[in-house]
Chain A
Amino acid sequence: MKESEAIFEDSVIFVTKQGTQVRIDGGQVVIWNVDAEEDEDRKLAGYPIEQLDTINVFGGVNFSTPFVAKANEHGIVLNYFTENGKYRGSFVPEKNTIAEVRRAQYALSRDDEIAIARQMIQAKVRNARTLLSRKGVYGTDVLKDLGVRVEDATTKDDIRGVEGEAAERYFQRLDETLIDGWTFEKRTKRPPEDHINSLLSLTYVFMKNEVLAALRQYNLDPFLGVLHADRHGRPSLALDLQEEFRPIFCDAFVTRLVNRGTITHDDFRKDNRLNGDAFKTYCAKFDEFMKEELTHPHFEYTVTRRKAIRQQAILLRKTITSELDKYHSFSFVR
């Protein structure tokens, strides 16, 4: 007899099991275990296709061609990563793009760009200070001063300069938020030199993809930024918007994983990447974190973190299309 199915309430799925294929079966997206033994169930999971908007696959997982056609039809973004979370690329559905929004993006004046960028970086600096104080780290007045300096900045270089200084000051204190056994000495990337940097880098990659999904959903061109310089293949607008979320979402998430012992030093391989089981745990915890509700600092209603990012994409779009005269960034005072 056929088994009943559980109600599925998510919209994003993560497939980390190697050797699997994502297929379409009737109205369901099915995760098929190609390497299954004779007695093993080949179907690992089934999801109603209308509920999905993003599928993330890691390493040796592929999509059947009929499935990709369906994903395109239903507007599902497919993100490809290496087995340990390095971003490789995306399949983005061929949806109608509203040219009007792109046209407004291209028409933004330098002053408008600077005004938006100022708000984003001010939020970042404010959120950095808030994260530190929430973790009991005080004496961060220098960050407060830098927040004021952003307000007075008149060029993008000025903004970048203040942001760089604030990041340096912030990372100097981040170590104090960590439990014994974990230290943060300096921010390193490409490749991360230690376990804490590895977790930060992975989280920034995941969060960038959340921001990209939000920008695409509201028809903004992620590659046309307001602060990050143009570079081939760089989603500058996504990196710009992500700045608001780096301390208060990304770093908060990493400190939580570490301080609660969810991830320990034993979970890392020699190259400082997470091992297989820990990586799967990481994906589950990240998704749970994004689905947690908080009170929006500006609108004062309850919202999930994932929705909060989409809300900022909406505000950004309204500012770019002149529906709003000022961009309201996402920042917590305490």
Chain B
Amino acid sequence: MRLVIAYDVSDDTNRRRVYRTLQRYGAWQQYSVFELEIDSAQRVELVDELESYINSSDGDRIRIYRLCSACQDATTDIGSEPPDEQSNVI
């Protein structure tokens, strides 16, 4: 499944932890936004880990969107060219 995750974390240390966690699963898109292609099991693991770095009392918030095929096809990039596909053969 394709997910887009946007986060807002106030504490510097926790924000770095959230960033590092998302980096292990997907692609950084722009400030505080990642895009991921993962399965259900990975999603459960990921959410569990992200929750451990969030303090609601600090106003921290993470929002996860799921993009179906139609949504992916309907996605529009404006401005800088999106990155080339990353080859798995170097």
Contact partners of B13 in chain A: CB under 8 A: none
Main secondary structure of the interface of B (DSSP, over half): mixed
Chain B residues near A160: list those with CB within 8 A: none
Residues of chain A from 1 to 44 with CB closer than 8 A to chain B in the complex: 2-10, 12-17, 20, 26-28, 31, 44
Report if A315 contacts B (CB, 8 A).
no
Q: Convert B35-51 into 0s and 1s, putting 1 for each residue whose CB lies closer than 8 angstroms to a CB of A.
A: 11110001000000000
**A7 touching B37, Cβ below 8 Å:** yes
- In the complex formed, the residue of A with least CB distance to B35 is A7
Residues on B with beta carbons closer than 8 Å to the beta carbon of A7: 2, 26-27, 35-37
**A6 with B84, Cβ < 8 A, contacts A26-B20, A27-B24 known:** yes
Q: A9-B37, A44-B90, A280-B89 are in contact. Are A4 and B83 (CB under 8 A)?
A: yes
Prevailing SS type, chain A contact patch? mixed
Are A6 and B85 interface neighbours, CB within 8 A?
yes
Is A229 part of the binding interface, using a Cβ–Cβ cutoff of 8 Å?
no
Question: What CA separation (Å) do A47 and B86 show in the bound complex?
Answer: 8
A-B contacts counted at CB < 8 A amount to 85
A188 CB, nearest partner CB in chain B, Å? 28
| B55 close to A (CB within 8 Å) | no
Chain B count of residues within 8 A CB distance of the other chain: 28
Q: Do residues A5 and B90 form an inter-chain contact, with CB atoms below 8 A?
A: no
Which B60-90 residues have a C-beta within 8 angstroms of A? Answer: 80, 82-90
User: Is there an interface contact between A48 and B90, defined as CB atoms closer than 8 Å?
Assistant: no
A16–B29 CB distance below 8 A: no
Asked whether, in the complex, the Cβ of A48 is within 8 Å of the Cβ of B89, the reply is: no
Q: Which residue of B lies closest to A5 (CB)?
A: B27
**Contact code string A256-290 (vs B, CB < 8 Å = 1, else 0):** 00000000000000000000000010011001000
Q: Are A8 and B27 in contact (CB-based, < 8 A)?
A: yes
With a CB–CB cut-off of 8 A, which chain B residues contact A283? 89
**Is A295 close to B, CB under 8 A?**
no
Q: A13 touching B30 by the CB < 8 A rule?
A: no
- Chain B residues with CB below 8 A from A109, complex form: none
Residues of chain B within 8 A of A6, CB atoms compared:
27, 82-86
Chain B 6-39, CB within 8 Å of chain A: the 1/0 string? Answer: 0000000000000111111111111000011110
Q: Report chain B residues within 8 Å CB of A280.
A: 89
| B24→A48 contact, CB < 8 A | yes
B26 and A45 form a contact (CB under 8 A): no
Check A154 for interface membership: any CB of B closer than 8 A. no
Residues of B with C-beta under 8 A to A27: 20-25
Contact A31 B86 (CB under 8 A): no
Q: For B89, give its contact among A14, A20, A26 (CB under 8 Å).
A: A14
Contact call B28/A20, Cβ cutoff below 8 A: no
Q: What's the Cα separation between A159 and B83 when bound, in Å?
A: 53
A230 at the interface (CB under 8 A from B): no
Task: Kindly provide the distance from the CB of B8 to the nearest chain A CB, expressed in whole angstroms.
Answer: 19
* B24 and A50 contacting across the interface, CB-CB below 8 Å: yes
Q: Chain B residues near A65 (CB, 8 Å)?
A: none
Q: Which chain B residues lie closer than 8 Å to A153 at the CB level? A: none
Query: Could you list 10 A-B pairs, sorted by A, with CB under 8 Å?
Result: A2-B28, A5-B86, A6-B83, A8-B86, A15-B90, A26-B23, A28-B23, A45-B86, A45-B87, A287-B88
Known contacts A5-B27, A50-B25, A50-B38; 7 further A-B pairs (Cβ under 8 A)? A3-B83, A4-B30, A6-B82, A6-B84, A20-B90, A28-B23, A284-B87
